[in-house]
């Protein structure tokens, strides 16, 4: 059976983009794969973080993932810093990857912005650690949102160079799984920007913890244009905000743009937004309440993560030990 690995950062509350672009697919893949899902706290410290809240945010996110349907018994849910294999292999990959490869990463350029001289060196080498996350388990399929595609390509470049330099075929090829009509959910305020935990405006995203009233208000205020909805997907071109709302609706209804427009084409945004808000509330409200219930017993969530880390380490430790042998380290 092919092994699945994916990760999500514990920086702020997960949002509808994380859910539709990633987590919902993670849940579905559990049916016929062995899956590892990781709260990537090592990645979270590549940007300024609050050391007083990181642990709680890690636990909150784990609870949210379980509430979304991740099954920590049949599969493995853990936090990255608890399994040392990630850092061991991450260092090796930092020495395999080339400056030129990392210089091309658009996420680094976006996140560093004009402050390039002042960002953490970890932000630059971040994709090396991501490659290690996946390959420490010999995982071959990685469900992510569209924004992570470039990082997966880099991971494949790293594993090819490792195999070449150390005369082996030890690391397998990785395939990104970018699924569904909402693989890139855009900001509700700007159809050119992706929905993000780090956007300064909370109005730009729907959080998995938002209550019904907040969700309805955010959708009502979402940016749109003056035209009614088209009846065919071609009519969404050059209308990024309309396209985004239709994509969200399609993903939540398990249909595509065509299906949504067949039902709602010709309607104005007032009516469509009412339907969309009702649908989002229907799908997200049970997740929010289950997350709250789980967090009523933080010790239980921690026990789940501890167990997950032990099972993850049992897979990764021998793989990374073999990678270290291939590199040539002495084990006296």
Task: Report the catalytic residues.
Answer: 111, 194, 197
What are the structure tokens assigned to 164, written together?
């070449």
150, 106 Cβ separation under 8 angstroms:
yes
130 binds, among ligand AMP, ligand TRP, none (CB under 5 to 8 A by kind): ligand TRP
Q: Is 185 in the site for ligand TRP (CB under 6 A)?
A: no
Instruction: Name the minimum Å distance from CB 132 to ligand TRP.
Output: 9
If the CB atoms of residues 142 and 250 are measured against ligand TRP, the closer one turns out to be 142
Binding mask 151-170 for ligand TRP (x = CB under 6 A): x-------------------
**Contact residue for ligand TRP among 79, 148, 156, 244 (CB under 6 A):** 148
Q: Which of 207, 219, 215, 217 is nearest to 281 (CA)?
A: 215
- Strand order of the β-sheet with 34-39 is 76-79, 34-39, 3-8, 141-143, 175-177
User: What phi and psi values does residue 140 have, to the nearest 5 degrees?
Assistant: -115, -15
Instruction: Name the minimum Å distance from CB 55 to ligand TRP.
Output: 18
Instruction: Name the minimum Å distance from CB 267 to ligand TRP.
Output: 34
Q: Is 134 in the site for ligand TRP (CB under 6 A)?
A: yes
Q: Which ranges of the chain does DSSP label H, i.e. alpha helix?
A: 16-18, 24-29, 41-44, 54-68, 85-96, 99-103, 106-112, 121-135, 149-165, 212-221, 240-253, 257-264, 269-295, 298-327
Q: Is 132 in the site for ligand TRP (CB under 6 A)?
A: no
**Contact residue for ligand TRP among 4, 39, 40, 97 (CB under 6 A):** 40
If the CB atoms of residues 130 and 136 are measured against ligand AMP, the closer one turns out to be 130
79, 62 Cβ separation under 8 angstroms:
yes
If the CB atoms of residues 6 and 94 are measured against ligand TRP, the closer one turns out to be 6
Q: For residues 192 and 131, what is the distance between their CA atoms, to the nearest angstrom?
A: 28
Q: Which of 255, 259, 270, 269 is nearest to 233 (CA)?
A: 259
Q: Is 124 in the site for ligand TRP (CB under 6 A)?
A: no
Closest residue to ligand AMP, Cβ-based?
21
If the CB atoms of residues 144 and 276 are measured against ligand TRP, the closer one turns out to be 144
Instruction: Name the minimum Å distance from CB 330 to ligand TRP.
Output: 30
Q: Is 6 in the site for ligand TRP (CB under 6 A)?
A: yes
21 binds, among ligand TRP, ligand AMP, none (CB under 5 to 8 A by kind): ligand AMP
* Cα torsion 313, 319, 320, 324: sign: positive
224, 245 Cβ separation under 8 angstroms:
yes
Beta strands in the chain (DSSP E): 3-8, 34-39, 76-79, 141-143, 175-177
Q: Is 9 in the site for ligand TRP (CB under 6 A)?
A: yes
Tracing tokens 């590892």 back to the chain, one arrives at 36
Binding site for ligand TRP (CB under 6 A): 5-9, 40, 43, 130, 133-134, 142, 144, 148, 151
């Amino acid at each position: 059976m092919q092994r699945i690995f994916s990760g999500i950062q514990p920086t702020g509350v997960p949002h509808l983009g994380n859910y539709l672009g990633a987590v919902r697919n993670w849940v579905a893949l559990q049916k016929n794969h062995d899956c590892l899902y990781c709260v990537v706290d090592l990645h979270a410290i590549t940007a300024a973080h609050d050391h007083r809240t990181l642990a709680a945010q890690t636990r909150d996110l784990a609870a949210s993932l379980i509430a979304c349907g991740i099954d920590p018994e049949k599969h493995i849910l853990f936090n990255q810093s608890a399994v040392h294999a990630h850092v061991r292999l991450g260092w090796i990959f930092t020495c395999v990857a080339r400056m030129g490869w990392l210089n091309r990463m658009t996420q680094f350029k976006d996140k560093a912005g004009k402050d390039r001289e002042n960002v953490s060196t970890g932000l630059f080498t971040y994709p090396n650690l991501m490659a290690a996350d996946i390959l420490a388990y010999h995982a071959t399929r990685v469900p992510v949102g569209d924004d992570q595609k470039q990082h997966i390509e880099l991971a494949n470049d790293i594993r090819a160079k490792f195999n070449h330099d150390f005369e082996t075929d030890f690391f397998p090829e990785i395939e990104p799984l970018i699924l569904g009509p909402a693989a890139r959910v855009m900001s509700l305020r700007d159809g050119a920007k992706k929905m993000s935990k780090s956007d300064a405006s909370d109005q730009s995203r729907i959080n998995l913890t938002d209550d019904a009233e907040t969700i309805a208000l955010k959708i009502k205020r979402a940016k749109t244009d003056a035209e009614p909805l088209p009846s065919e997907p071609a009519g969404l071109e050059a209308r990024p905000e309309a396209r985004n709302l239709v994509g969200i609706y399609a993903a939540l209804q398990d249909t595509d743009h065509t299906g949504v427009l067949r039902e709602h084409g010709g309607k104005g945004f007032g009516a469509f937004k009412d339907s969309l808000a009702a649908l989002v509330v229907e799908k997200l409200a049970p997740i929010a309440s289950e997350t709250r219930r789980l967090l009523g017993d933080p010790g239980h969530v921690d026990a789940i993560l501890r167990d997950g880390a032990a099972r993850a380490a049992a897979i990764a430790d021998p793989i990374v030990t073999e990678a270290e042998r291939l590199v040539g380290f002495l084990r006296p």
